[in-house]
């Protein structure tokens, strides 16, 4: 049996009629950028997350960068984040000229260890960027408490966690700002790139709207005054304001209408997609416990979105090879911890400084866990995982 890690075609086939009608209607409208679909999707997503504002952007990486810019984070500042994540998390910090400060992850949830954050705070720290890795939320109460104590901002990297909940609240509403990716592999995905910034803060929303579109127009004009306290409030007799009046150095990072149209259709299905991911994960947890694999920990008060279902074991490479021979797709998220990326060499981290993250980069792998998977496919994966353990000479040890 051939089972890919993720099969995007199956999801498309389920929404095909609606998606094709929506795409055709965009094409026929002649309005391809910042039209009705983007406007509606922003409102619908804000309401889904339980926040005042959702600002769409071209991708999650831009979303993180623009969120940091809107907070005024700049060269000389430090932002605390996790070393066990996708590169874009820390890349966004560097791209605004600030320094990523890595704090090791917890050994159970893969998320930043909140008990280690305070020790990493310096006079230059401005923000904490927790990542809800693999769809499970970080310890937000503790993180928000620390942020409040030290006057820091919290930007959730919720790129992998659309629809996940923490104490009954949706991701994107758990810090000062939240950022999502709609990359095709994500829980809520489009047919290309897309992203979203969420916040309850009116001013931050205006600044993000300005920055995503060259700092121009009315949002740019307002953002100009918000960003610099020396600028007085905008007045009616101020210089004219249109899209060719630019107030800030921003980005071209708008979501296009076709992506928004697809996302509106899928947003209605996100809860059922995530429910199915949790059902699949529960079966894996039950069937794989007390084998040679460590299954993902679930923490109280948390409704994970299981963007990925990640196992730990010794002899990872042999297990992956065995699964591959049997037609089962796997993935390694992530093989290099961020503090040891060559791109961050100037930060001068050395191996051994983030033991939990470094351990995970050597021992974890993801197995198929997508909503459209069948029970038959899952049974085959479970049996093959068990066979893999039996086949490996000498068996496996958890370490």
Ligand X SMILES: Cc1ncc(COP(=O)(O)O)c(C=O)c1O
- Kind and range of the H or E run holding 355: helix 355-363
331 CB burial (10 A radius; 0-12, 13-18, 19+): middle
Nearer to ligand X, 85 or 291 (CB): 85
Cα separation, 63 vs 360, in Å, equals 27
Q: Which range of residues in 81-89, 117-125, 170-178, 262-270 is near ligand X by CB under 6 A?
A: 81-89
Which of 282, 288, 219 has its CA nearest to residue 248?
Answer: 219
Binder of ligand X out of 59, 137, 281, 330 (CB under 6 A): 59
Nearer to ligand X, 66 or 313 (CB): 66
85 binds ligand X (CB under 6 A): yes
Strand partners, 33: 256
Binder of ligand X out of 61, 70, 295, 330 (CB under 6 A): 61
Provide the CA 156 distance to its chain's centre, in angstroms: 8
Binder of ligand X out of 77, 157, 257, 303 (CB under 6 A): 157
Binder of ligand X out of 195, 217, 296, 371 (CB under 6 A): 195
Provide the CA 377 distance to its chain's centre, in angstroms: 27
Count Cβ atoms below 10 Å from residue 47 Cβ, excluding itself. 12
Residues 173-192 that bind ligand X (CB under 6 A): 181, 183
The DSSP result for 162-178, as a single string, is: TT-EETTEETTSSSSEE
Q: Reduced to 3 states, what is the DSSP secondary structure of residue 15?
A: helix
Which of 138, 167, 158 has its CA nearest to residue 270?
Answer: 158
Binding-site size for ligand X (CB under 6 A) equals: 15
Nearer to ligand X, 258 or 388 (CB): 258
C-alpha triplet 131, 135, 137: angle, nearest 5°: 55
Q: Which range of residues in 85-93, 141-149, 353-361, 380-388 is near ligand X by CB under 6 A?
A: 85-93
Task: Quote the least distance from Cβ 183 to ligand X, whole Å.
Answer: 4
Number of helices and strands in the chain (H, E)? 13, 12
Nearer to ligand X, 101 or 159 (CB): 159
Residue 16 φ/ψ region, left for φ over 0, alpha for ψ in the -120 to 50 degree band, beta for the rest:
alpha
Which residue has the closest beta carbon to ligand X? 60
Structure tokens at 267: 């947003």
Nearer to ligand X, 133 or 319 (CB): 133
Binder of ligand X out of 68, 140, 159, 305 (CB under 6 A): 159
274 binds ligand X (CB under 6 A): no
Task: Quote the least distance from Cβ 267 to ligand X, whole Å.
Answer: 16
Residue 72 φ/ψ region, left for φ over 0, alpha for ψ in the -120 to 50 degree band, beta for the rest:
left
102 binds ligand X (CB under 6 A): no
Nearer to ligand X, 130 or 215 (CB): 130
131 binds ligand X (CB under 6 A): yes
Binder of ligand X out of 70, 160, 213, 291 (CB under 6 A): 160
Task: Quote the least distance from Cβ 159 to ligand X, whole Å.
Answer: 4
82 binds ligand X (CB under 6 A): no
Cα separation, 192 vs 186, in Å, equals 11
Return residues touching ligand X (CB under 6 A).
Answer: 59-61, 85-86, 88-89, 131, 157, 159-160, 181, 183, 193, 195
């Amino acid at each position: 049996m051939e089972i890919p890690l993720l099969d995007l075609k199956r999801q498309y086939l389920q929404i095909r009629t609606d998606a094709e009608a929506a795409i055709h209607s965009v094409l026929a409208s002649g309005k391809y950028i910042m039209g009705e679909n983007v406007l509606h999707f922003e409102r619908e997503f804000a309401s889904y997350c339980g926040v005042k504002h959702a600002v769409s952007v071209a991708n999650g990486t831009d979303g993180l960068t623009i969120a940091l810019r809107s907070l005024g984070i700049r060269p000389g500042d430090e932002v605390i984040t996790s070393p066990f994540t996708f590169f874009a998390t820390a890349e966004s910090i560097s791209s605004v000229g600030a320094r990523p400060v890595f704090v090791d992850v917890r050994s159970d949830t893969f998320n930043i260890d909140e008990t280690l954050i305070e020790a990493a705070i310096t006079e230059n720290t401005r923000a904490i960027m927790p990542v809800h890795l693999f769809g499970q939320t970080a310890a937000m109460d503790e993180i928000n408490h620390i942020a409040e104590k030290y006057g820091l901002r919290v930007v959730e990297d919720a790129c992998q966690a659309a629809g996940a909940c923490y104490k009954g609240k949706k991701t994107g509403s758990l810090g000062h700002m939240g950022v999502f990716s709609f990359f095709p592999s994500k829980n809520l995905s489009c047919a290309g790139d897309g992203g979203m910034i969420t916040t309850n803060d009116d001013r931050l929303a205006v600044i993000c709207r300005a920055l995503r579109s060259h700092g121009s127009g009315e949002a740019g004009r307002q953002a100009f005054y918000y960003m610099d306290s020396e600028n007085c409030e905008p007045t009616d007799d101020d210089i004219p304001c249109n899209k060719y009046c630019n107030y800030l150095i921003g980005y071209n990072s708008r979501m296009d209408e076709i992506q928004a149209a697809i996302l509106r259709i899928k947003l209605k299905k996100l809860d059922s997609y995530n429910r199915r991911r949790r059902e699949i994960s529960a079966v894996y947890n039950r069937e794989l416990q007390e084998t040679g694999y460590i299954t993902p920990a679930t923490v109280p008060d948390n409704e994970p979105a299981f963007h990925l279902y990640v196992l730990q074991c010794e002899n990872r490479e042999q297990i992956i090879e065995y699964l591959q021979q049997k037609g089962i797709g796997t993935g390694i998220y992530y093989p290099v911890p961020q503090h040891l990326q060559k791109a961050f060499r100037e930060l001068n981290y050395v191996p051994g400084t983030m033991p939990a993250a470094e351990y995970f980069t050597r021992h974890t792998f993801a197995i198929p866990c997508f909503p459209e998977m069948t029970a038959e496919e899952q049974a085959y994966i479970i049996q093959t995982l068990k066979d893999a353990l039996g086949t490996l000479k000498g068996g496996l040890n958890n370490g």
